Amino acid sequence: MLHRFIKLICMLLGLAIFQSVVAQEKPKHVVVISIDGFRPEFYMDSSMPTPNLQEMFREGVAAKEVTGIFPTVTYPSHTTLITGTTPKEHGIYYNTLIKEDGSAGGWVYDFREIKSKTLWQAAKEKGLVTASVSWPVSVNAQYIDYNIPEFWSFENPMDRRGATSEKANPKGLFEEVVKNATGTLEINDYNLSSLTMDQNLARIAGYLLRKYRPNLLTIHLPITDGAQHRQGRKGLMVRKAIAGADNAIGVIRDALQKAGIEKETTIIVTGDHGFVDVHTQIAPNVLLAQHGLYEKKGGRPKAFFFSAGGSAFLHLRDENDEETLERIQQLFEELPIEIRSTFDIVNRDQIAIRGGDPRVRLALTAQRGYSFSNDTEGSLMTYKKGGKHGYYPNFHDIATGFVGDGKGMQKGEVIENMYLEDVGKIVASLLQLQLNQDPNFYHSTLKNGN
C-alpha cells in the first residue's frame, strides 16, 4: 500500500524545490473555489458540462489528481486546504465529534477548534483583506473580514438563513448580500436541497468581490457532493450538479471582470475528495458486539469503530490496551475470504502518512463497492447503493482535482500528482504569506520570474 506514496514522495523531493517569484508575477487577489466531491474528470473529460473549468484547464495549470488526507471527508479536507497541513497538525480529524458511545456527535464548525495557522490569519498579519463564503469550520473566524460561514439551525437543519445571519461577520452582512446579491431567500434557496444553493453562494461571493475587493476569498460549493452520494459517480443529477458548479465559477469570473481586478487575480478551483460507487455497507461494530468487545463502561464501549464512510477508525477505551487491539486484529484477519477481501487494514504508520487521527491505532479502508456504517446491531453486511468517500487516499477515484488560472500561474502546465496540503502552500506563495511550515510544493504551478 505504501509503494505509491514512496514514489510520490520521491517525485515531490525532485520537483518541489521552492522557487521565489518576482513581485510583478504575484497577484493582488486570490480566489479559492472548493467544489465538494470535485474530481479531475470534471475538467479533463471534454464531455463534461464544464466550459469554465475546461477553459481554465487549457489556459492555466492543472493536476491529473490531488492526493487527499485520511479520511477523505469534507471538514478535515477543507481545513487542510486553508492551513496547508494534515489533520494530525490542524486537529480536525472527522466531520463530526464522537460521542461517548462511539456514534457521531455534532458537526465541527467552530474556527477555534483549528490548531494550525490558517491562510486567513496569515493574510491579516500582512494587512490584507479577507472574505469567505460557506467554508467549513469558519464560524467565529476572527481573521475573516467578510464572512458568510457554513452554518445552520440546530432545531431545523434545513433552514440555514437565521443561523448564518447570526454568525456572519460583520453583523448585518448576510442581510446585505441577500439584498444586493441574491434577493429574498426562501428556505430551499439556501440549503442542500437544490442546485440554487451553489448559484446563490456564487452570487454572494461575486458581490463581495465587487464591493470589497478582498485579497483572499474562499468559497465552498457543496451541491455536487449530495448528488454523488445519491447516484454515485455518474447520473443525470450528478451532471446537473457539475454544470451548476461550473456556472457558479462563471458567476465569480464575471464578478472579477466587472470589479476590474481580473488581470490581478489568480483563481484556484480545487476540492476535498473524489467519489466511489458503492453497493454494500459493512458494520464492523456488529462483529465487535458479537464478541463482547462493544461492552460499555461509563457509557463508553471498550472498543468501537467510527465510520467515515469509506473507512472506519478503531477507538479503544484504553489507547494502550494491546490485548484488545491484537484480538480485534485477529478477528478481522480470520473473517471468511469473501468478507475479508472487501477491506484493507490500515496500521498506525500508514494512518500517519496522510495525517490521520494520531489517537487511532488501526483503521479499515473499504475496497471499491463497499463502505462502512456505525451500526452495532443487525447484519455485518447490507445492501446500500450510492456514492461514498472517506477512503484511504491511494487510488485515483478518491482523488480530488486542482486547476489554477490567472496572474502568476503557468500556462498549459499539467502535474501528474500533488497533495491536498500543497494547495494552501501555493496560495501562501502567491500572496507571499507566512504559514510557519515547510513551504515546499510543486514549483511548476507558478511562473518563475527570473
Which domains occur in the chain, in start order? 3-97+124-274+399-445 (3.40.720.10), 277-388 (3.30.1360)
State the CB neighbour count (10 A cutoff) for residue 297: 8
Tell me how far apart the alpha carbons of residues 381 and 397 are, in angstroms, rounded to a whole number.
Answer: 23
How far CA 235 is from CA of 267, 274, 304, in Å, comes to 28, 15, 35
User: Residue 436 has what pLDDT?
Assistant: 76
Cell of 36: 465538494
Q: Collapsing DSSP states into helix, strand and coil, what is residue 186?
A: coil
Q: For the chain, 450 residues long, give each residue's pLDDT as a single digit of tens.
A: 444 444 444 444 434 433 333 344 899 999 999 999 999 999 999 999 999 999 999 999 999 999 999 999 999 999 999 999 999 999 999 999 999 889 999 999 999 999 999 999 999 999 999 999 999 999 999 999 999 999 999 999 999 999 999 999 999 999 999 999 999 999 999 999 989 999 999 999 999 999 999 999 999 999 999 999 999 999 999 999 999 999 999 999 999 999 999 999 999 999 999 999 999 999 999 999 999 999 887 778 999 999 999 999 999 999 899 999 999 999 999 999 999 999 999 999 999 999 999 999 999 999 999 999 999 999 999 999 999 999 999 999 999 999 999 998 888 899 999 999 999 999 999 999 999 777 776 655 666 443
- Segments of 11-129 assigned E as strands: 29-35, 61-67, 96-98, 104-107
Contacts of 105 (CB under 8 A, 6+ apart): 96, 97, 98, 99
Distance CA 99, CA 81 (A): 26
Sign of CA dihedral 298, 301, 303, 308: negative
**Residue 79 CB contacts under 8 Å (≥ 6 apart), including other chains:** 87, 90, 92, 114, 116, 136, 137
Helix (H) or strand (E) holding 431: helix 420-431
**What integer pLDDT is reported at residue 1 of this predicted model?**
45
Q: Write the CA distances from 246 to 12, 43, 57, 131, 213, integer angstroms.
A: 30, 10, 13, 21, 22
pLDDT at 438: 75
Rounded Cα–Cα distance for residues 218 and 144 (Å): 10
Rg of the chain in Å (alpha carbons): 22
State the maximum Cα–Cα separation within the chain, in Å, rounded to a whole number.
Answer: 66
pLDDT of residue 445: 63
Half-sphere exposure of residue 409: CA atoms within 13 angstroms, side-chain side? 30
Name all contacts of 177-181 with Cβ < 8 Å and 24+ positions apart.
177/148, 177/203, 177/204, 177/207, 177/208, 180/207, 180/211, 181/206, 181/207
Is residue 249 within a helix (H) or strand (E), and if so which, with residue range? helix 236-259
Residue 142 DSSP one-character state: T
Q: How far apart are CA 53 and CA 44, in angstroms?
A: 9
For the record, the C-alpha cell of 97 comes out as 465529534
Residue 7 makes CB contacts below 8 A (sequence gap 6+) with: none
DSSP-derived letter for residue 252 is H
Q: pLDDT at position 296, please?
A: 81
